[in-house]
Structure 1
Amino acid sequence: MARSIAAVKKEMRKGIKDKLKGLSVAAVTFQSSDAMRTLFAMPEYKAAKRISVYLSMPSGEINTSNIVRDALSQGKQVFVPYTYNLHSPLEGQPKSIMDMVELKSMDDFNALQPDKWGIPTPSDDSIASRANCFGGTGITNGDMMGMQAGLDLIIMPGMAFDSNFGRLGHGKGFYDYFLRRCYQASRMPFRVGLSLTEQFLLPNESVPMDSSDFRLDALITGDGELRRATA
């Protein structure tokens, strides 16, 4: 019997985690620097006025702190992930979802406290005063009625990436459900993945995808190479 997509994804995550265990902080710093140079040269990044960027874990992925610094210095609006539980999920909604809330300044960024994964995260009591990328302030509770705003560009993390612009997340489905909401609001951002070279799969390997998964528009690897999906 063929293994389920979920089982294949779980095995792939374990393989990537094992590969990343031996990666030094210096190697991640070096790859992050090369990836940033490529991102900052992209016309989509230069033109974007409203961007979302993941805030990186202490290890195991491209560090994004310099993206936050560069974007804010250019006057871009920067939105970062905030995850929370829905009190009464509707049919088809997950129990926990992700909104993107505005990061106001570098002082704001530097004041963020790490969550249990070491990811800088806005405090719960600050959310009500933060702009939401979909419009208004605070969380949306999954309600997309009347939402007009959106993002120009979203910079996405992942456990693994392939040459067909497939992305393997951490298994929570936060980004795919967020992108589905962007699609429903008719405002799909340009999607850029950042991958350490150790996270980029071999040409004969691919991320298992199902109907709920979104592919990337572009992928930047830690050697500074930019790959673009064909239209």
Structure 2
Amino acid sequence: MHARESEADLVILDLEDAVKPADKVAARAAAVEALGQDWRMPVAVRINSQHSEWHGEDMVAVMTSSPSAIVVPRAVGKEEVAFVRNQTGKPVLAMIETAKGLVAIHETAREASALIAGTNDLSADLHLPPGAGRRPLHMALQMIIIAARAAGIAAFDGVFNSLEDDEGFTSEAHEGRIHGFDGKSLIHPRQIPLCNAAFAPSEEEVARAERLVAAATGGAERFEGEMIERMHVETAQRILERR
């Protein structure tokens, strides 16, 4: 399936880790060509890090084309994110992939339009052993969500590497939603419907949210045996917006 034909909410054209050094020039040209075509969804470009030899030409490419946003890998601090945003005039999605990125996450979030958990690189940078799973990353993931919420921006969970493990993907996506992520990075079109189902509210959640919003009159009050107030109404409204 071509990315343009998918049901993805956002497509990211990758110039960074997915591309071999020998293929960087060709990948950049292909991305520029693709950006000139019609897409049904927003299209972002993940550029190479400012510390790489390809960063400058990537910046020229995105400045002379029309991506919806720029994805900055291994983001550390406000200067890098602000530079890319100011030079391109595009929203920046900052990937948090290193211990340094976690330490500087709040200043990064203030300059970004969204944060993305780069779970693979983050696991490596934190020296987690192979097969450690996500449990050792829980604190780091919560830091990403907290920084995003404090800055009023979106936060997206990292990728799930196993292409054939639908059950594992669904479990991890549900976990991401429970933790507070707004969505999840995907590496294959087959994961799209699983992700949409995991992050969409259930019929029961929607029905209860509708009842709560309809019943709320302002201030603290009783609703179906529970005490509710303004924050519960706002949570219910967010659920209804995700239908």
Same fold (TM over 0.5): no
TM-score range, shorter chain: 0.3 to 0.5
> TM-score when scaled to structure 2?
0.33
Structure with the higher fraction of residues in strand conformation: 1
Higher alpha-carbon Rg: 2
Instruction: Considering Cα pairs closer than 8 Å and 6+ residues apart, tell me whether 1 or 2 has the greater RCO.
Output: 1
